[in-house]
Every structure is written in structure tokens, then in C-alpha cells.
Amino acid sequence: MTNLSPPLFFERSGRPRLAYRHMAGRGPTIVFLPGYMSDMEGGKASALFAWAAAEGRSCLLMDYAGCGSSDGLFAEQSLTSWCGDVLDLVDARVEGPVILVGSSMGGWLMLLAAMAMLRHDGPRRVAGLVGIAAAPDFTDWGFTAEEKAIIQAEGELREETPYSDQPYVTTRKFWQSGEANRLLEREIPLSCPVRLLHGQQDGDVPPEISLKLAAALASEDVQVTLVKGGDHRLSRDGDIALLIDTVARLADTQT
């Protein structure tokens, strides 16, 4: 893993402060959005930041409230509040166009944030999107009827996960927020270039989700890359090289 400098902190009145790393450079600014219960210390975020530094590109990493080094309680957060975190930090620290890179749940936030930026700033703000096993609507397809009932009745669902020694916790607040922000059953009004990477052996987010997302997007410039043998994380050396190449090619077309 790449050694990173200590994070900076973005102070907000009445809301948790957010940990982030920002590097100035050539645009568009690459903004990495981690997955659920993840943070900016992961291998993909670190590698992307190191590559951006070597290439003199602008890059922003962040931890959502309640995650990583940011303040706040995880159980009090929701998909909507995390989208707000993204928008707050980008508005405060980034000038000009962005390329949003979203991993798993970060891919859902990538779409929601891009739609909000489109409404607020116009189409030039979002230069492109890169999803890594993007997981929009996973509160719908990612849980059984029994699991949804537990979330509703007990307020949370706890599951073992191979990605952490801590249980995977889904709160009622997050689940309800997700259900209110589902995207795949209608056209997604984004026209920017979109690149979707997905491992064919992903046991958490079916590759069909990326295909369904590609069909839902209004953009005519959408490419889906299925990675043979790739799992949900897509964190092998070859996977990360593919991610960097994908981001670089997209950034070069928008510079």
C-alpha cells in the first residue's frame, strides 16, 4: 500500500468534520468515493492518489462522516447524508470539472452526486464517471425479504464480512435512505462519459448490475469492462492497473 500523508480536515458548522486528502494539479480533478464501511486508506484509493501525484494531476480522497478518520457516528449516517458529504467537500475544495470514481456503494453515491452537480452547476462540472463494481439500488437487490424485515423490525442487520474483522452493519436509516434513492428503474439523466469496471467473479454485486446501469444511463458514451477472474474488490495489481489506465484515458479526453 502506498504511504500517504496525514489527512486534512474540513470543518462544517453543525455537521461532522470530514477527513480528506487533496492534491492540486492538472484537471479534471479525480475524486475517489469509497464503498460501504470503507475509507480512503484502501489500495485502490492509495494507488490512484500516487498515480495522480506522479502525473501532476489533481486528486481528492475523502472519508464519509462516521467512516475512517472523519468525525461522526456510523449508525447516524445515510446514503443521503454521505452524498451531502461528497457535495460539501467538492464544492469547498475543487474548482472546475471532476471525474468521480466510485467503488461499490461509492458507485451509487457517484451517480447521486453527479445528478446533484448537474442540477446545481450544469453539465460541465462532471467530466466523467468511473464505477468499480458500482452498486446502485443495493438496498433493493442486495437483501432477502427476511433480511429487510429484520432491518425494519430491529433497526439494523449485522452480518459477518470477509473484508473486515468488524461486522457489516446496515441500519434502518441507511436502508430507508437507499430505498428512497433508487435509480435503476428509470432513465438516469447523465450524459457524460461513463466507464464501468466489474469482476466476473464478484460475489457481492452481480456483474449484471453494471449492464443494467449502462442501459439506464442517458449517456451515449458508456463502456462496461468485465474482468475475468475479478472479484468484488478488483484490487489485484492488474485490476488496479486497469483502473488507472481507465481513469487516465478518460481524463486525457477531458483535459
By annotation, the residues acting in catalysis are 104, 202, 232
Q: Output the CA torsion 117→90→235→164 (10° steps).
A: -110
Question: Rounded to the nearest 5°, which phi and psi values hold at 122?
Answer: 90, 175
Contacts of 33 (CB under 8 A, 6+ apart): 62, 86, 100, 101, 102, 103, 106, 107, 109, 110, 113
| Alpha-helix residue ranges (DSSP H) falling in 32-160 | 43-55, 79-93, 105-121, 138-141, 145-154
Nearest to 7 by CA among 73, 76, 80, 70: 70
Q: SS3 of 98, please? A: strand
